[in-house]
Amino acid sequence: MIESISTENIFKALMHPTRLYILEILHDGEQCVCHLEAVLGNRQAYISQHLMVLREAGLVEDRRDGARIYYRVIKPEVYDLIDYASRLCGKEPREIMKGSRKICPCPKCNPIANGTPSTDVIIVKEPESSNDQFS
Protein backbone atom coordinates (compact mmCIF):
# COMPACT_ATOMS: atom_id res chain seq x y z
CA MET A 1 0.00 0.00 0.00
CA ILE A 2 1.40 3.41 -0.98
CA GLU A 3 1.27 6.01 1.73
CA SER A 4 0.11 9.46 0.77
CA ILE A 5 2.98 11.52 -0.53
CA SER A 6 4.07 14.00 2.09
CA THR A 7 7.11 16.14 2.72
CA GLU A 8 7.97 13.96 5.71
CA ASN A 9 7.88 10.76 3.63
CA ILE A 10 10.08 12.24 0.93
CA PHE A 11 12.70 13.48 3.38
CA LYS A 12 12.57 10.17 5.25
CA ALA A 13 13.25 8.37 1.97
CA LEU A 14 16.23 10.61 1.26
CA MET A 15 17.79 10.20 4.72
CA HIS A 16 19.81 7.07 3.96
CA PRO A 17 22.89 7.11 1.68
CA THR A 18 21.92 3.79 0.08
CA ARG A 19 18.61 5.24 -1.07
CA LEU A 20 20.45 8.20 -2.57
CA TYR A 21 22.74 5.78 -4.41
CA ILE A 22 19.73 3.83 -5.67
CA LEU A 23 18.14 7.03 -6.98
CA GLU A 24 21.42 7.94 -8.66
CA ILE A 25 21.52 4.57 -10.44
CA LEU A 26 17.87 4.95 -11.48
CA HIS A 27 18.65 8.39 -12.90
CA ASP A 28 19.78 6.62 -16.09
CA GLY A 29 16.40 4.90 -16.38
CA GLU A 30 14.69 1.73 -15.31
CA GLN A 31 16.93 -0.91 -13.71
CA CYS A 32 16.38 -4.45 -12.45
CA VAL A 33 17.05 -5.36 -8.84
CA CYS A 34 19.94 -7.64 -9.85
CA HIS A 35 21.62 -4.61 -11.48
CA LEU A 36 21.24 -2.63 -8.25
CA GLU A 37 22.77 -5.58 -6.36
CA ALA A 38 25.78 -5.68 -8.67
CA VAL A 39 26.40 -1.94 -8.63
CA LEU A 40 25.91 -1.46 -4.88
CA GLY A 41 27.44 -4.74 -3.78
CA ASN A 42 24.61 -5.42 -1.30
CA ARG A 43 22.26 -8.36 -0.88
CA GLN A 44 18.87 -8.30 -2.57
CA ALA A 45 16.97 -8.26 0.76
CA TYR A 46 18.84 -5.13 1.92
CA ILE A 47 18.19 -3.33 -1.38
CA SER A 48 14.53 -4.36 -1.38
CA GLN A 49 14.02 -2.78 2.04
CA HIS A 50 15.35 0.53 0.72
CA LEU A 51 13.29 0.25 -2.46
CA MET A 52 10.19 -0.26 -0.31
CA VAL A 53 10.85 3.06 1.49
CA LEU A 54 11.33 4.84 -1.84
CA ARG A 55 8.14 3.24 -3.20
CA GLU A 56 6.11 4.19 -0.12
CA ALA A 57 7.33 7.77 -0.49
CA GLY A 58 5.93 7.76 -4.03
CA LEU A 59 9.34 8.25 -5.66
CA VAL A 60 9.70 4.94 -7.52
CA GLU A 61 7.49 2.23 -8.93
CA ASP A 62 8.16 -1.35 -9.93
CA ARG A 63 7.12 -3.73 -12.67
CA ARG A 64 7.67 -7.45 -13.06
CA ASP A 65 9.02 -9.03 -16.23
CA GLY A 66 9.22 -12.78 -15.72
CA ALA A 67 11.46 -13.43 -12.73
CA ARG A 68 12.97 -9.93 -12.77
CA ILE A 69 11.64 -6.84 -11.03
CA TYR A 70 12.44 -3.45 -12.51
CA TYR A 71 12.31 -0.07 -10.77
CA ARG A 72 12.08 3.43 -12.17
CA VAL A 73 11.74 6.92 -10.75
CA ILE A 74 8.24 8.38 -11.14
CA LYS A 75 9.00 11.76 -9.54
CA PRO A 76 12.08 13.06 -11.38
CA GLU A 77 11.77 16.32 -9.43
CA VAL A 78 13.50 14.48 -6.59
CA TYR A 79 16.79 14.98 -8.45
CA ASP A 80 16.37 18.77 -8.22
CA LEU A 81 15.91 18.40 -4.46
CA ILE A 82 19.01 16.19 -4.13
CA ASP A 83 21.10 18.55 -6.27
CA TYR A 84 19.93 21.55 -4.26
CA ALA A 85 20.77 19.83 -0.97
CA SER A 86 24.24 18.98 -2.31
CA ARG A 87 24.85 22.58 -3.33
CA LEU A 88 23.54 23.77 0.04
CA CYS A 89 26.25 21.65 1.68
CA GLY A 90 28.90 22.89 -0.75
CA LYS A 91 29.33 19.43 -2.27
CA GLU A 92 29.08 17.94 -5.70
CA PRO A 93 26.33 15.34 -6.22
CA ARG A 94 27.41 11.84 -5.18
CA GLU A 95 28.90 9.57 -7.79
CA ILE A 96 28.92 5.77 -7.63
CA MET A 97 32.39 4.25 -7.42
CA LYS A 98 32.62 2.38 -10.69
CA GLY A 99 35.60 0.33 -9.50
CA SER A 100 33.46 -1.40 -6.88
CA ARG A 101 31.09 -2.99 -9.42
CA LYS A 102 30.77 -6.73 -9.67
CA ILE A 103 29.82 -8.51 -12.86
CA CYS A 104 26.16 -7.74 -13.37
CA PRO A 105 23.98 -10.68 -14.42
CA CYS A 106 21.12 -8.57 -15.73
CA PRO A 107 20.20 -8.76 -19.43
CA LYS A 108 20.94 -5.07 -19.91
CA CYS A 109 24.57 -5.44 -18.82
CA ASN A 110 25.14 -9.04 -19.85
CA PRO A 111 23.18 -9.99 -22.98
CA ILE A 112 24.53 -13.56 -22.89
CA ALA A 113 22.73 -14.14 -19.56
CA ASN A 114 19.49 -13.46 -21.42
CA GLY A 115 20.37 -15.86 -24.25
CA THR A 116 21.17 -13.07 -26.71
CA PRO A 117 24.87 -12.98 -27.58
CA SER A 118 26.38 -9.52 -27.80
CA THR A 119 28.18 -8.43 -30.95
CA ASP A 120 31.19 -7.72 -28.72
CA VAL A 121 31.63 -11.37 -27.72
CA ILE A 122 34.52 -13.13 -29.39
CA ILE A 123 34.38 -16.92 -29.52
CA VAL A 124 37.77 -18.53 -29.83
CA LYS A 125 37.76 -21.94 -31.46
CA GLU A 126 40.48 -24.37 -30.42
CA PRO A 127 42.51 -25.70 -33.35
CA GLU A 128 41.58 -29.23 -34.34
CA SER A 129 44.12 -31.73 -33.12
CA SER A 130 46.00 -33.64 -35.71
CA ASN A 131 48.14 -36.68 -35.13
CA ASP A 132 50.47 -35.46 -37.90
CA GLN A 133 51.13 -32.15 -36.14
CA PHE A 134 53.87 -33.49 -33.84
CA SER A 135 55.26 -36.28 -36.08
Strand runs (DSSP E) across 1-135, as ranges?
31-32, 60-65, 68-73
Q: Is the separation of the CB atoms in 13 and 57 below 8 Å? A: yes
Per-residue pLDDT, 109: 74
Per-residue confidence in pLDDT tens, the chain, 135 aa = 444 678 999 999 999 999 999 999 999 899 999 999 988 989 999 999 999 999 999 999 999 999 899 999 999 999 999 988 888 888 876 554 444 445 676 767 776 655 544 433 333 334 344 444 433
**Of 90, 85, 25, 93, whose CA–CA distance to 60 is shortest?**
25
What's 7-114's CATH class? Answer: mainly alpha
Instruction: Give the pLDDT of residue 5.
Output: 78
Using alpha carbons, select from 56, 100, 102 the residue that is nearest to residue 48. Answer: 56
Residue-range domain boundaries for the chain: 7-114
Q: How far is CA 7 from the centre of its chain?
A: 25
**3-state DSSP assignment of residue 107:** coil
**Length reported for the chain:** 135
* Whole-structure pTM value: 0.72
